[in-house]
Each structure stands twice: as C-alpha cells, then as structure tokens.
Chain A
C-alpha cells in the first residue's frame, strides 16, 4: 500500500516536473524557432517614460535587422517592474522560469536591478542592463552573462573633476541625495576632482527623494565655494535647478553636475538651467551623422524625440544583434555568444564604444552646457572613460 502510493506520487512528481520543463533537455528549448526576449522595464510610475524609450530603442535596433536575431524570428515578453525593488526577484524569475526567455533586458532602477542580478547569477540567463548604473553589477559581482550598455553611476562624474579645475574652480561643495546612486556618483567626483587638485570643502546630502533644499542652499551661499557639483535626476533635479537660481546662487557660483541633472527636465526647469555644466555619455545635440540619422529615424518611427534612454535601449539591441549574428541565432552557444559581445564595438549615436572586461561601456564623456533649454556639447570631458571595475573577477 505504502509503496504503491509512493510510486504514484513519484510518477506524478516526475510528470509534473517534465511538463513544467524542468526535465526537458536544453536542446529542446534551443530548437524552438524563435529567440525569446524578455523586457523587464518600468511601464508605470515615475520611470515609465524611460522604460518606453528603452524598449523603443531596442526594437529599432532589431528592426534594422529585419526584426530578426541571427536569422531567427523574435518573440517578446514584457513585465512591468514598477520600479519596485521588492518585486525585482519575483518578476525576473517569472520571465526566466515561466516565459523561458533567452535574454532578459532590464532595467532602470538600481534597486530592482539587484533583484534581476541575483536571478541572472543564479540561473545563468543572459542579462542586458539598459540603464541602471549600480556599481556592484559590473564590479564585485560582475558575471559572464551580465552586460551593461549604459554607464556606472560614477562614470559621468569621473570626468567632472578635470574641466572644473581647468576653469579655475578650486574649491567645491558636493550635494546629492543620500542613497546608493548619489553615493556612487560622489565616488567618481571625489576621485576625479581631488586628483585634478581640487578641494571638496563640504559634502551635503538630504534623504531621497526629499526636495526641500533651502537649508542646504543657505549653507552653500555661506560657504562661498568656487563651484557646486551635484547629482540629481528627474523631478527633483528640476526643483533643484529652480531653487538654486531662486536662492541667487547661479549668478556667483557655477553649478556642475552628473548629466542626469539636465536630462529630460529642461522644460520644467526653464531659464533656471541656463549655463549649467554637466558631463554625460550622450547629448541630443551631438553633431555627428550617426546621431542625426538615429534621431531622424527614431522620430519618424515613434513620433517622439529620442533621449539618452532611447540611445541606451538602441545600443542594447545593437549589442544583442552582434552576439546573435556571431552564433547564427544559436543562443544556447553561450561561450561564443558572450565572446562576440565582449569583443563588440558598438557604433552608437553617442559615438563608438567598446565593452570593458567587466562588461560596462568604455566611452567618451561629453562636457555639456545648457543653452536655451538644450544640452549643447562644448567638448569632451573624458576620452574613453572606463569604470574602475574594482573587485571584478570574471569566472
């Protein structure tokens, strides 16, 4: 009696496992005729526009290949990550286990990225990061199957110190939100600015996403530094720009920032942003044929102006195309796939860039100045800037 029940339950378990795909040999999946691409991006909430721009850019890169990857049709799966770190692992697992995606594209929010990162490391699924700049993903926890096509949080600020010193700004105050991205941006600024000979006279911070800057702006006015450097993004950035001007600081103290300060907020900030200097791996106004063509194509396809996020999504697509073409669509041939992506040189609207050994772009960082609600490129702040990739050991 006992043994018969045991046999029954075990067979049931085996059938269950087989039908859910656990026991199917790897080859069966590889033979399915479509490449399965999973988007895990924010489609609602504060970052919704970023998610849409990334997906648009990605699809555009694939469309340029006739919508195929290495000659195979592509099937898309989408999950709204809601920029909610608490659901990061669950959502990523859904794409990997249920939808059996060959590649997971995501995401914007660094906290959610950490959830994806855990799933990518545990399951070995190919993960392409189109935005989130959290350091650890390409540093101590770098992985052969994780590639980033955007930036690390300290990459733009690694190019900030030199141009500040060149303009004679020897004493600076740093201000940001006290959270991971702010701390990581500071790391780049501290390194580049002190190495160039600058002195950080005070480091100011406030809780994320608090935007009551008044007390800190008063302090800046009292300290009278040569310049202020900062990291802010989104709605808070617009508010900071307006308050900085309203406090009368913009007349006397030059404001510098990681480029996200002026991305997508120039209309909201209005004239308050005029003259602000930032460093960033892209600018709408980059005067290259490659960028102009991209912007025209994008605007025609989506009836929208592309931004840095669209470019990053586009580059994610370009990178995957390079990999898939090298293995003729056989996404199971991981060694060759990763080798092709590691060695890829991406001809991006932001300029050509290469993948670093830790799988993060080595790219030029531009110096930009806001003029009439536009980020004008006025020079290159850092040539071929790479993240230090501290602690990365590829297995």
Chain B
C-alpha cells in the first residue's frame, strides 16, 4: 500500500469513525445520564436519512433538508421523551429493552406506511460534488471532507456544552447523583428532555449527512446500531470521550480490515472489541 492510498484510507476511516461517534455519543449520553438502554437509537438515524431524502427531493436542497430535518428530529425526540421514555427511567433495564425493541418495529412499520420500502438515493449537493485529485488514479470526494468537518464541529460543540456551560454542569451533576441535584433546585426533568432531544438530534444529523453516501433504505438503522453498541462498549459506557476514541478506532479497524483482509472484514471489529474487553472489561474510559 503506497502513501497516497494509505492517506485516503485513513481519511475514509476518520470519516466513518466520526459518523459512528455522532450516533454513539447520543447513545452513551442517554444511557449514562438517564440509565436508559435505547435500542431504538438506530431508528433515529434512519429517521434522519428519510427526512433528508424526503425534504431534499421535495425542496430540492440537501442543506435546507438538513436544517429542517434537525429541527423536526429534535422536537420529535423531546416529545418522545416526554410521552414515553420518562416513565421508564426507574424501571428495570429489561423493561427498557422491551420498550425500545418494540419501538424499532413501530418505527419501521410507520416508515413503511408513509415512505414505502424502496431504496432511495440522495444527491450530493452540486457545490460539493467534486473530488480532490491526489494521484493519477486516486482522488477524495469533497463531500466526505465537509461531512467530517461538520462532525468535528459538532463534537467540539458537544464537548464545550458538557464541560464548560452551566447546563453541562447540571447534566453532569444529574448523572452523578440525580436526587441530590434535584433537591438543589435543578429541574432534572427538563435536563433529561434536553439530553434526549440532543441524542436524537445527533443521530438524525448523522443519518442526514450519511444519506448521500450510504443510500436510504428500510432497516438501515439496525446494522448501524450494532456498530454503535460496539463503540459504546469499547469506549466505556457513559463516556463521551471514550465514544470518540472508540469510534475512531472502529473506523480504522473496519476500513483497513475491509481493504487488507477482506476475508475477515466482517469480523475485524468484533475481534477488536473482544481484545479490548479482555484487557479492559469496562471499556477504555470507565466512568
């Protein structure tokens, strides 16, 4: 493998890793702060992708679709938390698994009723539909760079929000000791709503950004959900920093596995997980 090829595969890895991070961050936040195991997280990714397809095909602009889709997804997340999830914070994990597993089926069915079961293509915006040539045969699509850029900005924003703001402080306090925080006058209900909506929003944005490069199809949330859980488990449950490191690691192993050892490509990520868990049973960054 020469240098240019290596460089591009590295970019591919980072781009895939960042996408996974967007999903895993929400998943791990919702678990870490509210203690909810959310199997339906992949459905929010699917929701994002379908919204991107629907709005970009009716409005003719992916950028507009992403803005509109994000707003809708956040509102949807907020409603879902208020109507359903908040009643499950004190319940057993098994109840939560049952609830969210059921939600996967409901979301798939509703999607099928409204949008059908076809595979849809989303066009890359004309402005970003070109590549940077690196060698005579290798080039890198600019859309993927922009996409990675957006993910990095959002990751930094998330970090600042949680570690530097007053809201972030309340979120961290609530995760650490819920009753104590509440008795100090923090509206923990509101915090939960915000965190949940944030998680749904991040997953939906990931789906929308991925829609031009991964197509939009039924069941697209399930395969990505498995990868997300792998990331969360490797990174350490509840740790956003762990999710970032683990997502990049998974991106690297998956991409180079596909290219260097296609025979075992499907397994490479799980082997990574097994090795990490062997030495760090609670993940790389234990909370």
Chain A contacts to B: CB under 8 angstroms: 44-46, 48, 178, 202-207, 209-212, 214-216, 218-219, 221-222, 224, 234-236, 238-239, 242, 246-249, 252, 268
Give Cα A6 to B11, complex, Å.
77
Q: Which of B233-281 contact A (CB under 8 A)?
A: 255, 258-259, 262, 265-266
B50 interface residue, CB < 8 Å from A? no
A239: B residues at CB distance < 8 A: 119, 121, 215
The answer to whether A224 and B121 touch (CB under 8 A), given A209-B217, A219-B259, is no
Could you tell me if B265 and A214 are in contact, using CB atoms closer than 8 angstroms? Answer: no
A234: B residues at CB distance < 8 A: 119
B141 interface residue, CB < 8 Å from A? yes
The answer to whether A202 and B262 touch (CB under 8 A), given A212-B16, A215-B12, A222-B1, is yes
B139 interface residue, CB < 8 Å from A? yes
B9 interface residue, CB < 8 Å from A? yes
A203: B residues at CB distance < 8 A: 262
Give Cα A221 to B218, complex, Å.
31
For this complex, 27 residue pairs linking A to B, each with C-beta atoms less than 8 Å apart, are: A45-B218, A46-B119, A178-B265, A202-B262, A204-B262, A205-B262, A211-B214, A211-B217, A212-B214, A214-B141, A214-B144, A215-B12, A215-B255, A215-B258, A218-B5, A218-B259, A219-B5, A219-B9, A219-B259, A221-B5, A221-B137, A222-B4, A235-B215, A239-B121, A239-B215, A246-B131, A249-B137
The answer to whether A215 and B259 touch (CB under 8 A), given A222-B2, A222-B138, is yes
Closest to B260 in A: A219
B255: A residues at CB distance < 8 A: 215
B126 interface residue, CB < 8 Å from A? no
Give Cα A58 to B274, complex, Å.
52
Give Cα A211 to B262, complex, Å.
16
Give Cα A337 to B232, complex, Å.
60
Give Cα A221 to B137, complex, Å.
6
Closest to B141 in A: A246
Give Cα A293 to B222, complex, Å.
46
Could you tell me if B223 and A207 are in contact, using CB atoms closer than 8 angstroms? Answer: yes
B13: A residues at CB distance < 8 A: 215
Could you tell me if A218 and B223 are in contact, using CB atoms closer than 8 angstroms? Answer: no
The answer to whether A45 and B117 touch (CB under 8 A), given A202-B262, A215-B259, A239-B215, is yes
A210: B residues at CB distance < 8 A: 223
B8 interface residue, CB < 8 Å from A? yes
Give Cα A247 to B137, complex, Å.
9
Could you tell me if B1 and A206 are in contact, using CB atoms closer than 8 angstroms? Answer: no
B161 interface residue, CB < 8 Å from A? no
Closest to B216 in A: A235
B213 interface residue, CB < 8 Å from A? yes
Q: Which of B1-60 contact A (CB under 8 A)?
A: 1-2, 4-5, 8-9, 12-13, 15-16
Could you tell me if A235 and B121 are in contact, using CB atoms closer than 8 angstroms? Answer: yes
Could you tell me if A207 and B139 are in contact, using CB atoms closer than 8 angstroms? Answer: no
Give Cα A242 to B5, complex, Å.
21
Chain A interface SS verdict (over half):
mixed
Give Cα A219 to B257, complex, Å.
12
Closest to B144 in A: A214
The answer to whether A236 and B259 touch (CB under 8 A), given A210-B223, A218-B9, is no
Q: Which of B217-233 contact A (CB under 8 A)?
A: 217-218, 223
Given A215-B255, A218-B8, A248-B131, output 8 extra A-B contacts at Cβ < 8 Å.
A45-B117, A204-B258, A221-B5, A222-B2, A222-B4, A234-B119, A235-B120, A247-B141
A108 CB → nearest B CB, Å: 14
Give Cα A242 to B119, complex, Å.
14
A268: B residues at CB distance < 8 A: 121
A225 CB → nearest B CB, Å: 11
A218: B residues at CB distance < 8 A: 5, 8-9, 12, 138, 259
Could you tell me if A46 and B121 are in contact, using CB atoms closer than 8 angstroms? Answer: no
Could you tell me if B1 and A236 are in contact, using CB atoms closer than 8 angstroms? Answer: no
B129: A residues at CB distance < 8 A: 246
Could you tell me if B139 and A248 are in contact, using CB atoms closer than 8 angstroms? Answer: yes
B223: A residues at CB distance < 8 A: 207, 210
Give Cα A206 to B255, complex, Å.
11
Give Cα A125 to B96, complex, Å.
46
Could you tell me if A46 and B259 are in contact, using CB atoms closer than 8 angstroms? Answer: no
Give Cα A252 to B136, complex, Å.
10
Give Cα A205 to B141, complex, Å.
21
Could you tell me if B118 and A206 are in contact, using CB atoms closer than 8 angstroms? Answer: no
Interface 0/1 of B97-129, CB less than 8 Å to A: 000000000000000000001111100000001
Could you tell me if B213 and A46 are in contact, using CB atoms closer than 8 angstroms? Answer: no
Give Cα A236 to B12, complex, Å.
20
A235: B residues at CB distance < 8 A: 118-121, 215, 217
Closest to B133 in A: A248
Instruction: Give which listed residue, A202, A214, A221, A238, contacts B121 with CB less than 8 A.
Output: A238
Instruction: Give which listed residue, A46, A209, A224, A248, contacts B118 with CB less than 8 A.
Output: A46
Give Cα A249 to B141, complex, Å.
13
Those 4 A-B pairs whose CB atoms lie nearest each other, nearest first = A235-B119, A222-B5, A221-B137, A215-B255
Could you tell me if A236 and B215 are in contact, using CB atoms closer than 8 angstroms? Answer: yes
Closest to A49 in B: B118
Could you tell me if B214 and A221 are in contact, using CB atoms closer than 8 angstroms? Answer: no
Instruction: Give which listed residue, B8, B213, B259, contacts A212 with CB less than 8 A.
Output: B213
Give Cα A216 to B262, complex, Å.
10
B4 CB → nearest A CB, Å: 8
Closest to A220 in B: B137
Could you tell me if A216 and B214 are in contact, using CB atoms closer than 8 angstroms? Answer: no
Interface 0/1 of B132-153, CB less than 8 Å to A: 0100011101001000000000
B121: A residues at CB distance < 8 A: 235, 238-239, 242, 268
B118: A residues at CB distance < 8 A: 46, 235
B141: A residues at CB distance < 8 A: 214, 246-247
Give Cα A206 to B213, complex, Å.
15
A215: B residues at CB distance < 8 A: 9, 12-13, 16, 255, 258-259
B193 CB → nearest A CB, Å: 33
